[in-house]
A and B are shown apart, each in its own frame.
Chain A
Amino acid sequence: MIGKARLGHVGGDLSVTDILTTLFFGVLRLDPTDPTFADRDRFILSKGHCSAALYSTLALRGFFPPDWLATFMQPLSRLNGHPNRRKVPGVEANTGPLGHGLPIGVGSAIASRLSRRNWRTFVVLGDGELQEGSNWEAAMSAGHRGLDDLCAVVDRNRLQQGARTEDTNRLEPLADKWRAFGWDVVELDGHDHDALFRAFTAARSGRPLCVIANTIKGKGVSFIEDRVEWHHKVPSSEQMELALKELA
């Protein structure tokens, strides 16, 4: 997709893929044949720039035909660089500007409680994105209300567009921050499907859950892993071939 479009965010796509896989194939209550049924769990990709990973997951889960993927970011494609719920089944919120997903997730969790339908809401956030203040407005709301149907997953790959998060605007101690806002926190290996599954399906506690998923940006491709320049660099055709071989 990214090779054809010559655009995309390959590093973040690869860091978030195991999280998406665990959620969409093991956790979320979904029906690809009826993508907006009222009681569905809500999934919001707040780091909307990693749309290629989301689209791939949705296609494999049956929300739309896999051949759509070849149109990624082509003129008039449904698959824009950032997801659009009005065009792509399975997308709950149009994200792109950072710091928007968690407030929407808080609203969804309040709606779940008010309607007594008890769906769960999962929001995947980038770590660099946590520098946006709106996340902390939302975190405060969710903690105050004890929204335990809400789970925020931080894709903690420690890199943002221009540099390491800790060199740019320090996030640590990150778990303490979430706890101070009234959340339960689980820290785990964000590429360990079993650990992710256990965290996502653990009994609810009366508090919202933050899963800090320690990940490797560019996971699975040796020359992309943990390298800041691969935030939105596009691989050459030789690099693409090598990357696909390593990922296979």
Chain B
Amino acid sequence: MSATQAPAFDCRVAFAETLIDLARGDPRIVAVCNDSVGSSNLTAFQKEFPDRLINVGIAEQNMVGVAAGLANGGFVPFVCAAGPFLTGRALEQIKADVAYNGYHVVLCGISPGMAYGELGPTHHSIEDLSWLRAIADLAIVVPADPAQTRAAVRWAVASGIPSYLRVGRFKVPAVADEADPFVFSRADQLRAGADITIVATGTMVTRALDAAEDLAVRGVAARVLNVSTIKPLDEQAIVAAARETRGIVTIEEAMIEGGLGAAVAEVVVRRAPTRMRMLGVTGFAPTGDTEFLFDHFGLNRAGIVAAALEILDSP
């Protein structure tokens, strides 16, 4: 069975369950949202902790500032809002109030990427990785499945640092090692291979695994890396991939300018130059559901296979 046919999960469920579980034992945990209780899957949290769910209404700048103030007061706020509005509307608050202050706020971009497919580019969170990578002292984590999501939420509470967490709505199968799903700033090798490396994040990891199967049929051994921490990047894993295989294909549900592919390229040009192809979103999307849009931008197994062969076939 290929990964894309396996049972698939909405990571918001794992996110909310873990948050409630942690909140039961840690009175510092609060949730802050922008009229997004339902879409952030916080209904059960609100029921159990009505005082600790702070809904500021449709006001994202205030939402992030309020979270910084709560952190000042000793709380650990999880700011839960649709990715595009959290990161776009409140970008200066993320930079100044959270990152520059060094406040332990967990910014949760809910339904990121093109999860809101047909709603169009205003509702796509495809610039978040590029925007936030440029902000100092802010960690960026993109879990690829429920196990990674649960572990990342636990990490975020324990970390003591500002972070951005992408919490996916688009259903994904389990891809991580259940026993050891996530370590901050560690890239996980999900498949060994010495010919080419596919570096993927989030929803694209399962597609990378599918593509590796297709490449194997053609006699190409593809290594697959799941990069769940975009920043700080696991440079060692990237350098090893650049040295031990003949090239790198990156794939992400985000604009290629400044996201995962760019982060990998920054390491490669400094430390181990090699051939690369970057797959990602390349413009404002046309109308269509998420799966349609993935195909539109070539974010599928065929797109990955073609990119890998292009590297291997080039002189």
Q: Is the CB of A111 closer than 8 A to any CB of chain B? A: yes
B72 touches A94 (CB 8 A): no
Given A100-B65, A106-B62, A137-B56; A111-B97 close (CB under 8 Å):
no
B72 touches A104 (CB 8 A): yes
A137 touches B59 (CB 8 A): yes
Q: Is the CB of A196 closer than 8 A to any CB of chain B? A: no
Give B64's nearest chain A residue, CB to CB.
Answer: A103
CA distance A52 to B101 in the complex (A): 19
CB of B106, distance to nearest CB on chain A (Å): 14
Residues on the B chain within 8 Å of A138, using CB = 62, 65-66
User: Which residues in chain A, 124-183, are within 8 Å of chain B measured between CB atoms?
Assistant: 133-134, 137-138, 140-141, 144
Q: Is the CB of A247 closer than 8 A to any CB of chain B? A: no
Q: Is the CB of A112 closer than 8 A to any CB of chain B? A: yes
Q: Is the CB of A210 closer than 8 A to any CB of chain B? A: no
Residues on the B chain within 8 Å of A103, using CB = 61-66, 68-69, 93, 97
CA distance A228 to B68 in the complex (A): 33
CA distance A137 to B66 in the complex (A): 11
Interface size of B by Cβ–Cβ distance < 8 Å? 30
Given A42-B72, A115-B74, A137-B59; A107-B65 close (CB under 8 Å):
yes
Neighbour of B96 across the interface among A42, A96, A112, A137, CB < 8 A:
A96
CA distance A134 to B69 in the complex (A): 14
Residue-wise, chain B 92-111 has the 8 Å CB interface mask toward A (1 for contact) of: 11001100111000000000
Q: Is the CB of B67 closer than 8 A to any CB of chain A? A: yes
CA distance A85 to B96 in the complex (A): 12
Residues on the B chain within 8 Å of A121, using CB = 69
Give A42's nearest chain B residue, CB to CB.
Answer: B72
Residue-wise, chain A 86-106 has the 8 Å CB interface mask toward B (1 for contact) of: 100000111111011011111
CB of B20, distance to nearest CB on chain A (Å): 17
CB of A94, distance to nearest CB on chain B (Å): 5
Neighbour of A141 across the interface among B62, B68, B75, CB < 8 A:
B62
Residues on the A chain within 8 Å of B70, using CB = 107-108, 110-111, 114
Q: Is the interface of B mostly helix, strand, loop or mixed?
A: helix
Given A93-B97, A93-B101; A110-B92 close (CB under 8 Å):
no
CA distance A247 to B56 in the complex (A): 44
CB of B69, distance to nearest CB on chain A (Å): 2
Residue-wise, chain A 191-217 has the 8 Å CB interface mask toward B (1 for contact) of: 000000000000000000000000000
CA distance A105 to B73 in the complex (A): 10
B62 touches A93 (CB 8 A): no
Q: Is the CB of B273 closer than 8 A to any CB of chain A? A: no
Q: Is the CB of B30 closer than 8 A to any CB of chain A? A: yes
B72 touches A141 (CB 8 A): no
B96 touches A105 (CB 8 A): no
Given A106-B66, A134-B61, A137-B61; A100-B93 close (CB under 8 Å):
yes
- Given pairs A97-B92, A103-B68, A108-B70, 19 additional interface contacts (CB within 8 A): A85-B101, A85-B102, A93-B68, A94-B101, A99-B61, A103-B63, A103-B93, A104-B68, A104-B97, A106-B65, A107-B67, A107-B69, A107-B73, A110-B54, A110-B66, A111-B72, A111-B75, A115-B75, A134-B93
A-B contact pairs, 13 of them (CB 8 A): A92-B72, A93-B69, A93-B97, A94-B96, A94-B97, A103-B64, A103-B68, A107-B70, A107-B73, A107-B77, A108-B72, A109-B69, A137-B59
- Contact surface of A with B, Cβ cutoff 8 Å: 38, 42, 84-86, 92-97, 99-100, 102-112, 114-115, 119, 121, 133-134, 137-138, 140-141, 144
